[in-house]
Structure 1
């Protein structure tokens, strides 16, 4: 029986991924490197660094460190000035909190995560949040979701993971946890298997009710 929900963050609870791409693209441009969205998509699929192109064009480690720092600041600017809310998410989480215990498992850096939620209420019903600094191996490794199971002190069959990306779904699969893939247009090019799929987070309560009914048969 599913009693706990483990949510990815970027692309599932907030619409931030396009702004991370834009900040990275601008930072690379400062080093004279052109990165298209097709390039970025390939990096996501391969798990490659977006900075490889800069290295091949002669950028030094110091150059890249400086560009990364500029990118991080630029991304925070976008987080504060752009509309990153996804309609209906707060209401869905409030409804689900009546039945399930919930947590967020994200690869976001904690400083970005805290900035995003400084004036939002999406975390009000979350038992805890695991950010990138809270585990050694990032998704697609199993460790982030294994850490969440340990924190809740539950079995893997008591949880379900809500993700949008191939790397996140792979992490959940590696941890042996059932998955729900939420459609996200920004990463829709990534073909990834999941146990369930929904077009938006608003469909999650009905899906979970159906799963619960099936389990009770």
Structure 2
């Protein structure tokens, strides 16, 4: 049996990833750089991000900093106005909470995480949350999930990571923790061959947690 769940956030608990991409795409368009979804996801998988294509195009860091501020503003506007719920998440978490202790390990910044969870009930199922400011090296580095293990005082073999991206999967694998990947439309085409489990919804986790495999 798995006693601990370390859950990614964006794409697993809330449907925010497409809006984060669109915010970056919009900000980059304003400085004359296009952003293709497939290239963006490839950059993210190797630990790069929104600005990799701008740097490749020779955009200076000052301009990128201004575009980043614009992206952040656009993203927060989307978070306030767009539907980001994932059906069944709260029911799944309520069931999982009877079998395992849970925490969130996310690359989201604290300010965005707090905005997302204004008026939402997801956090009440979690013992703690690690946001981007809580560790030095982001996914795919193992540090985020190793930090989660340390906070729980958990062993690797009694812990399961829940992810939706190859970057997060790589982080879990590098940390030596089994990983269940929740497939979604935004990241479905990425390489999940190293995942211990591939599932379509969080409701499938209950049997995995109880079986402990």
TM (normalized to structure 1)?
A: 0.92
Measure, in 2, the Cα distance between the counterparts of 1:57 and 1:170.
Answer: 28
Q: Deviations over 1:113-134 (max 9, x none)?
A: 0100011001101000000100
Per-residue deviation at 1:51? 2.3
Q: Per the alignment, in what secondary structure is the counterpart of residue 123 of structure 2?
A: coil
- Who is 1:208 aligned against? 209
**Unaligned stretches of 5+ residues in structure 2:** none
Report which of the two structures shows the higher radius of gyration computed on alpha carbons.
1
SS in 1 for 2:127: strand
Q: Which residue number in structure 1 is paired with residue 199 of structure 2?
A: 198
- SS of equivalent residue, structure 2 residue 98: coil
Q: Is the 8 A contact 2:142 2:172 kept in 1?
A: yes
Show CA shifts across 1:113-167 (max 9, x none): 0100011001101000000100011111111111111111111111111111111
Q: Which position in structure 2 is the counterpart of 1:15? A: 15
Output aligned runs, 1:100-119, within 5 Å. Answer: 100-119=100-119
Report the CA distance between 1:98 and its aligned residue.
Answer: 1.4
Give distance in 2, aligned partners of 1:42 and 1:14.
Answer: 21
Alpha-carbon distance between aligned partners in 1 of 2:46 and 2:85, rounded to the nearest angstrom: 28
Using CA pairs under 8 Å that are at least 6 residues apart, name the structure with larger relative contact order, 1 or 2: 2
Are residues 30 and 147 of structure 1, via their aligned partners in 2, closer, same or farther at CA, if it must alter by over 3 Å?
A: same
CA distance in 1, matches of 2:169, 2:46: 15
**Match of 1:86?**
86
Offset of residue 61 of structure 1? 1.8
The equivalent residue for 2:5 is 5
1:64 & 1:174 partners in 2: Cα distance?
30
Q: CA deviation at 1:184?
A: 1.3
Q: How many residues align?
A: 212
Matches within 5 A, 1:2-151: 2-151=2-151
Under a length normalisation based on structure 2, what TM-score does the superposition of the two structures give?
0.94
Residue matched to 1:157:
157
* Cα RMSD, aligned residues only: 1.5
Listed as ranges, the gaps of 5+ residues in structure 1 are none
**Rounded Cα–Cα distance in structure 2 between residues aligned with 1:131 and 1:199:** 25
Deviation string for 1:41-90 (max 9, x for gaps)? 33224433432433454533221111100000100100110000000001
Q: 1:66 to 1:187 in 2, by over 3 A?
A: same
In the alignment, which residue of structure 2 is the partner of 1:176? 176
